[in-house]
Amino acid sequence: MDDEALALFTLIARGAEDFKARADRWTDAAVEQALETVKSVTSVTSVGSDVATADFVRTAEALVSPAADAHRATLRALAVQRAAVGPQTVSLYSPLYLSNACTNRCVYCGFRHDNDIARLTLTDAAIEREATMLAKSGVQEVLLLTGEAPAQVGVDYVIRAIEITRSRFRTIGLEVFPMSVSEYARVCQAGASVLTLYQETYDPRVYRQVHQAGRKRNFQHRLSAPHRAVEAGFRSIGIGALLGLGDWRFETLALALHARFLQALAPDLQVSISFPRIRSAEGAVSARRAVDDDALIHMMSALRVLLPGVTLVLSTRETAELRDALSGTLATKLSAGSKTNPGGYSTEATDGRGEQFEVHDHRPASVVAASLVQRGFGVRGYVENMGGTRALGTRLTFVG
Ligand code: SF4
């Protein structure tokens, strides 16, 4: 087994408790040494290409340890410096929920099988309506989402949705159920180019507690899905942990190792890491281990310095204020104008019923784009076509 895979699987096999015992032993001096290591790295794409796996693991562990909390300001400053070397652009995308049918029981999700909500799977005509409405917002990357309900929403359904939407968007992403290599190859061939799949938690013990029924209970099958997608031809992969389930320090290290493992599979692979914090949803449980803003910024800073080439994503789960404060430096991709229920773009606003989670940044894409430009960043994946940004009197710089 390759070093990168071994490092990830060893961390998972030993578990979060073993990690915690080690993390608690890191000292101030060790954290300072780790900061020196990341400072000396010259690669703008990945520390992984400059540092041997064992050193990478040690550095990452030190940077997420409790001892590193006293060095958060330095870590963040380093991350901002690192980001300043890269392109000063932020990408935008919007989710399009195709179905809220689901056979799984994930305790944190409003779409869980045993939750009593109205179920809706969009027809071809409804997908077309949603795509048309969303495209008018100017966002050029759409993320198609489903739950896991093979009878209603199988691979053929996803392919049909790609075929309907692909003429309206420049980039099609998928956040759906895990597939086999041949199934990933089919959706890739149909026009999907970004594959997002969160492990939710890398701690197998917590994973079993929060995934109570359905195919998603299979931890390994989910963990290996991004790998299968790369094998099938995807060159843009998004991973993430749902923050609030497990220990955020353990999840950060696991995300770093997972990203490094994926990067080692294909040198031209673009890896994105998302930081979804659990938000309230009808019938869902709240966070067991809430992650506050300082911890979130700590996570993002550590991953930015460890893996400078990865894209860090913040969704509309976060407030406009926090997204504005972090975008361009720590976050380089944002969702915008999001609706998190099927049919959300083309039907009248509801009282939040039927959403997968509660949205906290309600600004339309035009306002998010204008805010980025006002702060000197270019915007990718957005075309100004609604006039909303002009109304703000801002000269926009769009980067395609
Ligand atoms: S998180 Fe996904 S798989 Fe789990 S219940 Fe929600 S929609 Fe279904």
pLDDT at 282 over 90: no
The arithmetic mean of pLDDT across residues 279-298, rounded, is: 83
Ligand 1 pocket test: pick from 111, 144, 278 the residue with the most ligand atoms within 8 Å of its Cβ: 111
CATH code of the domain in which 306 resides: 3.20.20.70
pLDDT of residue 61: 97
Is residue 137 in a domain? yes
Minimum CA distance residue for ligand 1 atom 5: 112
Is residue 397 in a domain? no
pLDDT of residue 393: 35
Q: What is the mean pLDDT of the chain?
A: 90
Is residue 28 in a domain? yes
Secondary structure (DSSP) of 209-235: HHB-SSGGG-HHHHHTHHHHHHHHT--
- Strands 194-196 and 89-97, by their bridges, are unpaired
Is residue 151 in a domain? yes
pLDDT at 400 over 50: no
Is residue 135 in a domain? yes
Q: What torsion do the CA atoms of 178, 201, 302, 81 make, to the nearest 10 degrees? A: 40
The arithmetic mean of pLDDT across residues 130-156, rounded, is: 96
Q: Give the model confidence (pLDDT) of 370-394 as tens digits.
A: 999 999 999 999 998 644 443 333 4
Ligand 1 pocket test: pick from 148, 177, 245, 274 the residue with the most ligand atoms within 8 Å of its Cβ: 148
The pTM (predicted TM-score) of the whole model is: 0.93
Ligand 1 pocket test: pick from 112, 116, 356 the residue with the most ligand atoms within 8 Å of its Cβ: 112
Lookup: tokens for 391? 């109304």
Is residue 314 in a domain? yes
Which residues share a beta bridge with 139? Answer: 382
The arithmetic mean of pLDDT across residues 14-42, rounded, is: 92
DSSP state at residue 387: S
Could you identify the atom of ligand 1 that is nearest to the CA of residue 211? 4
Q: Give the model confidence (pLDDT) of 187-205 as tens digits.
A: 999 999 999 999 999 999 9
Is residue 398 in a domain? no
Is residue 116 in a domain? yes
Q: Which domain holds residue 148?
A: 3-392
Count of the separate structural domains present in the chain: 1
Q: Give the model confidence (pLDDT) of 313-362 as tens digits.
A: 999 999 999 999 999 999 999 999 999 889 999 885 555 556 666 789 99
Pocket of ligand 1 (CB under 6 A): 102, 104, 106, 109, 111-112, 147-148, 216
Measured distance CA(193)–CA(233) in Å, rounded: 9
pLDDT of residue 43: 57
Q: Give the model confidence (pLDDT) of 66-97 as tens digits.
A: 999 999 999 999 999 988 877 789 999 999 99
C-alpha of residue 112 to centroid of ligand 1, in Å:
6
Lookup: tokens for 378? 């270019």
248-262, 276-290, 342-356 — which one is most confidently predicted on average? 248-262
Q: First-to-last CA distance in the chain?
A: 40
